[in-house]
Amino acid sequence: MRCIVPLLLVLALAGCGGGSASLTIYLPQRLGPEGPTGQRVPVLMPVERERRATMSAARQAVFGVMGGPGPAERASGYLDAIGLSTRLLAVRVSGDMATVELAGAEPGYLGAAAIVYSVTEQAGVERVLLRLGGRPCCIHTRRGTPWPGALERSTFRGWTGEPCPLRTENRCRAGQPKPRMNFASSDIFSGVQGGSHVSSTSTASTPGTRWTAS
């Protein structure tokens, strides 16, 4: 009886859990014929990661994007969004806004968008302020100045890299693919920079987009 009680307690605690056992992030993926009509470039799509209780969900989301796809995901067409030369310094959440402090190489448009979608996937976070060396970074206006203030998902509405499940226009031909069969897009005006493994030759210009890559 002495052994049974502790065992039951352990099982009960395991059953209760400490929140979600998984975490959703967004990575680029080439969908091919299942992608949006007339679009060859990749698109951001959700993938699952095991939740780590040792860090905040927002911080883990950024690490997940920087870590890139696993071997099986690469075989399914997933790509890196951020190069190895970009480092994460801190992630702070205050109210509905997360501030992501980066160092090293500045992420391109694709990497910045992946961070924004991944961090805003976490409960309570609606906006993301991206900073490099203590200054706003990564998304620029047509005048070449950093995007003022925080970024939201609505900032990227209509962009060719917008995730299939969130699109209201030019939807994916196959509807909404399953999470582990997804994609991401690097359609930016001047190509992906910041050490991304996605070359500018694999991107296309984005009609109607209000920003340029860093």
Give SS3 for 95.
Answer: coil
**Residues near 16 by beta carbon (within 8 Å), at least 6 away in sequence:** none
Q: Nearest-CA neighbor of 51 among 38, 60, 62, 63?
A: 60
Confidence of residue 109 (pLDDT cuts 50, 70, 90): very high
Give 183's pLDDT tier (boundaries 50, 70, 90).
very low
DSSP string over 159-190: -TTS-GGG-SSS-BTTSS--TTS-------TT
- Residues 113/182, Cβ–Cβ less than 8 Å: no
- Which DSSP category does 146 fall into? B
Q: What is the pTM of this model?
A: 0.72
Instruction: Check residue 64 and give its pLDDT.
Output: 97
| Cα Rg, the chain, nearest whole Å | 18
For 132-181, write each residue's pLDDT tens digit.
999 999 999 888 888 889 999 999 998 888 998 888 877 877 554 444 43
**Other CB atoms closer than 10 Å to residue 143's CB: what's the count?**
6
